[in-house]
Structures are given as structure tokens and as C-alpha cells.
Amino acid sequence: MAWEFLTIYWREMIRFTRFKALLFSSLLQPALWLAFFGVAMSSNFDRFASAVPAPPGVFPVEYLTFMAAGVIAMTTLFTSLFGGISLLFDKNWGLMREMLASPIPRTHIMIGVSLSGMTKSFIQVIIIMVFGLLIGVHFFPGYTPLQIAVSVLGILAFVGVFSLGFLLFSSIISMRMESPEGLQGVITLLTLPLFFVSNSLYPIQAFPPLLRALSIYNPLTYLITGIRYFTIGSDFFAIGARYTYTPVDILISFAVLVIFAAVMYVLAWQTFRRAVVT
């Protein structure tokens, strides 16, 4: 059958809902990050940025709204990188050996796990946006209901492709690692550089040349660009810098994420095809 991956997907979602502590923390953590870090930093950054007035006719954006897009991206990154850890537990508990020996195509295993991770990311993104609106984040300024619906779909498209790429990347690492501690160490080593060498919290225009060059190759930068385009607009002013996005910029950002996800799919397919679990 062509739908075996739904079995893997459903199993992962059941596991996600049954572990109440994991479910509660994964949904609450991004909201707390936005509430405490965002509100605290917003008062400081807005005070400093007030010395640089916005150009005439350009929409000014508060720091809380600016960084909310970064929190959405950060949450998606963390969820995606840790999404493959279930494969490592399956290896250690002997379940992976049974799945690889079953008639289920190996690609369906990684597709099922990846789709479940994407679903978790979608849930978290919706929660962050709703919670952000409640605490004063000004998403979708002046948008009509139709524009809001289109923007939400655009955000989910960016989040979905980005999440797929990093879930496949996490699956590759998980299939090559032997211990959860080793996997967590690798993921921790990757998350901070990816997060801070991006436009999540501040403009990359102020980066040193080396970090600015690295941010260009960071998929997280393109995810945040897409999220800000759909949540704030194509022309706004924040933290002393003006941001302008054209439809071509957004298409390029989306294409970069699609290419990244495609490369990760090929690498993950090769990893699962050669996998031998004893």
C-alpha cells in the first residue's frame, strides 16, 4: 500500500499526546519565551530605537512584534532538530529493527516521522501567534480577513518546508548516533549558532562581515524573512533599520528552503536505505 507512512505518523502523534509533560512543555515554552524575554527586551530596544525616527511613510514596528517572528522560527528550529530523537529511541528499544524488517518501505518511516514533526510545528506556530496577539504583538496590521488567511497559509508553507528539511536532517543524525546524549550534544551545538547567526532578534545589517556572510547560508534567515513578510508586511521600520521585501525576495527565500529540504531528503533516503540495526 502507498499509505504506510500514516501508521508511523499516527504513532508519533499518539506518543506526542500521551507524554503530557512533553506536550505541555513544548506548547508552553515558546509562549513563555515570548512573554518574558520578548516583553523585557522590547522595552529596552524600543527606548534605544526611538532615537532613530522611521522614514516618512514607512510603518514603524515595535521590537516585540519584530522578535515574535524570530520566536516562531526558533521554536520551529528546536522542534525540528529534536524531532528525530524518536528514531534513536526506537533503535535502542529494538523497534527500529522490527520496522526495517517489515514490508513498510523505509522511506515511509522517515516521511511519517517528518510529517508528525511538521504537525507539531504547525500547532506551536498557531499557539505562538494567538498568544502573541493577546500580549500586544501587532501581527497582520490593517489586513482584511482574506489577507490574514492567505498570510497564515504562507507562514505555514514556510514553516512546513523548513521543518521538513531539519526533521530529515535530525533523522540522519539519529540513524547514525547510538546514544540520546550524543544526539542532544550535537543538536545543542547546532542550535545556538543557527539561531544567533540569523535575523531572528536583530538586523543582520549590523553584523560583522563574516557573520553576515554566514547568515546568508543559514536556512533560518530565509524562514524568518518569509514569516515577517506575511505577519508584518513588505515595508516596515524596526530597531533603526528599514526592511523591504519584494515578492521575488520571498520566492527566492522559499526556493532556498525547498532546495535545502530536497537535499536533506536525498541524504536521509540514502541513510535509511543503508541502515542496518542489530
DSSP-based three-state secondary structure for 202: coil
pLDDT at 49: 62
pLDDT tens digits, one per residue of 204-233: 887 888 888 899 999 999 999 999 999 999
Instruction: Count the Cβ atoms, other than its own, within 10 Å of residue 86.
Output: 22
Set of cell numbers at residue 58? 514607512
Interhelix angle 145-176/219-231, rounded to 10 degrees, is 160
Confidence of residue 50 (pLDDT cuts 50, 70, 90): low
- Domain positions in the chain are 62-274
Backbone angles phi, psi at 124, to 5 degrees: -65, -40
What mean pLDDT, rounded, does the chain reach?
A: 83
SS3 53: coil
3-state secondary structure of 232: coil
What's the pLDDT tens digit per position in 95-150? Answer: 667 777 777 777 787 888 888 889 988 988 888 888 888 888 889 988 999 999 99
- For 154-199, the pLDDT digits (tens) are 999 999 999 999 988 988 888 777 776 777 778 888 888 898 889 8
